[in-house]
Amino acid sequence: MSKGPGSRAGKSSGRGQRDLRVRVKTAKGRKLSSKLWLERQLNDPYVARARREGYRGRAAFKILELDDKYRFLVPGARVVDLGCAPGGWCQVALQRVNALGEKGDKAVGRVVGVDLQEVDPIAGAEIHQLDFLSEGADDLVKEWLGGPADVVMSDMAAASSGHKATDHLRIVALVEAAAQLAFDVLEPGGTFVAKVLAGGAEAEMQLTLKKAFTKVANVKPPASRSDSSEKFVVATGFRGRPETDQDS
């Protein structure tokens, strides 16, 4: 991907060349990690683009790019976004499934977002404060959607412990839990999309998904930072809960 004006210009003796990267001075008491994070944010073209286009975060472009490739957010689809804060994925979904009915000749979809924390309202989406691991959460989700879901998506990540192996195991556990809810609420033929961290511990989860869906892809969209170990699993063509999970 070509670098935009927010990227650091290469060394050159040519006239007019200059370093366009925004630098942040380390104020007294500010940790170096905070300084580096802020500097990265200020120079991230996706952050700037999110501000221009009205999205609540750069993560919106990850689901945009995934949907551009796999086309699961279609007009009329019913979508549940697990761990939806701050709401960028919901914003993308409601536009693409025509939740506001702005595409008069297209079916009107529905978007439900759930999160442990309170999330500011989003016009066109229905947001609920809910622990999706709680008993009866699947029934509530289907009630809010008005039926089974066509898409279950999750950009959730556990709070970082600073230990890569531990963080990997935590996010795999989250994805497995999200997949279990997807098995309960998805319509046949539906899609499950979730963030994972590369690390090798997700082999069993991948096997389970391959039993439940006709196709399972693992992809790193362009909006995902190159220095991040995150990737996304996109499972399409839901066939039903795997037989080994029937009695679990």
Domain containing 81 — which CATH number?
3.40.50.150
Residues 125 and 222 in one domain: yes
Q: What's the CA gap between 53 and 37, in Å, rounded?
A: 22
* Position 13 in a domain: no
* Position 197 in a domain: yes
Cβ(57)–Cβ(88) under 8 Å? yes
Q: Tell me the HSE value of 41 on the side-chain side, using a 13 A CA sphere.
A: 12
Residues 39 and 134 in one domain: no
Residues 224 and 109 in one domain: yes
Cβ(92)–Cβ(73) under 8 Å? yes
Q: What's the CA gap between 148 and 156, in Å, rounded?
A: 21
Residues 119 and 40 in one domain: no
Number of folded domains in the chain? Answer: 2
Site of tokens 């279609």: 74
155 is annotated as contributing to ligand binding: yes
* Position 248 in a domain: no
- Both tokens assigned to 153: 């998506």
- The question of whether 25 is a catalytic residue gets the answer no
How high is the mean pLDDT in each 10-residue block of the chain (248 residues)?
38 37 45 52 71 90 97 98 97 97 94 96 97 95 97 86 75 92 98 84 86 96 84 96 68
Residues 49 and 61 in one domain: no
pLDDT of residue 40: 54
Q: What's the CA gap between 50 and 59, in Å, rounded?
A: 9
For 54, the 3-state DSSP assignment is: coil
pTM score of the predicted model:
0.79
120 is annotated as contributing to ligand binding: no
159: containing domain: 57-242
184 is annotated as contributing to ligand binding: no
Q: What's the CA gap between 36 and 159, in Å, rounded?
A: 19
Active-site choice (25, 142, 195, 231) = 195
pLDDT of residue 45: 77
